[in-house]
Amino acid sequence: CRLYEHQQGTVLLDDQDITTLTLESLRAQMAIVSQDNFLFDGTIKDNIRFARPDASDEQVIRACEALGCLDILQALPDGLDSPVGERGASLSLGQRQLVCFARAMLADPRLLILDEATSAVDTFTEHHVQQALERLIERRTCLIVAHRLSTIRRADRILVIDRGRIVESGAHDDLMRNSGHYAALHREFVRLIEGDGAAEHP
């Protein structure tokens, strides 16, 4: 997003150096969903529409429908008109993430950045968030930073970083065959699921 300028190398978007793009053009093509997303004091609908202030109520509803989360948000006391409270205090963590996913869906970015977007979500809520996430990433380029392997195992390319360096790169099946860092993390991930019935950080 060029919130910070890179110090080395080149960052390309469609083979074009991002430093040659205006910030307005660059940021109009991307959306970010992080672990700690900011919700302002307003309604759910207001917070989703933050991505596109000119969006109609119908467009907001369609974004929620596309994610498969409309029924969850509509079940709140005032539906999409329910107040979220300051920083989303009146919503659960999972509900806050769904609102942020809907915001990103409404923005319809070409490039989606997910920064630990499901890391703090409990296992029960993660099922709903994960389903919405899979719909959100369809047909768009995504950069996903995650420790939960359930979030990344279907990625086209996985980069395994250890102590600030890329130590492995490839698809899930290839990395499992290599029996390296990723395979060890995956074995621990599976062990935790089978042993505790919950997927925590390996």
Q: What is the pLDDT of residues 84-128, one digit of tens each?
A: 877 777 888 888 888 888 999 999 899 999 887 766 555 556 667
More confident residue, 181 or 129: 181
Provide the pLDDT for residue 136: 81
| Mean pLDDT, residues 61-83 taken together | 89
Provide the pLDDT for residue 196: 54
The rounded percent of the chain whose pLDDT value lies above 90 is 34
Cα(40)–Cα(87) distance, rounded to whole angstroms? Answer: 5
Is the pLDDT at 149 greater than 90? The verdict is no
- Strands (DSSP E) found in 80-149: 111-115, 141-145
Provide the pLDDT for residue 46: 92
Element (H, E) at 165: strand 165-170
| Mean pLDDT, residues 164-174 taken together | 93
Is the pLDDT at 63 greater than 80? The verdict is yes
Provide the pLDDT for residue 157: 94
**159-129-163 Cα angle (round to 5):** 25
Is the pLDDT at 131 greater than 80? The verdict is no
More confident residue, 123 or 200: 123
Tracing tokens 């600030």 back to the chain, one arrives at: 164
Ranked by mean pLDDT, the top range of 43-47, 113-117, 153-157 is: 43-47
Provide the pLDDT for residue 120: 57
Confidence class of residue 201 from pLDDT cuts 50, 70 and 90?
very low
| Mean pLDDT, residues 122-140 taken together | 73
Reported as half-sphere exposure (CB side, CA atoms, 13 A), residue 59 has a value of 16
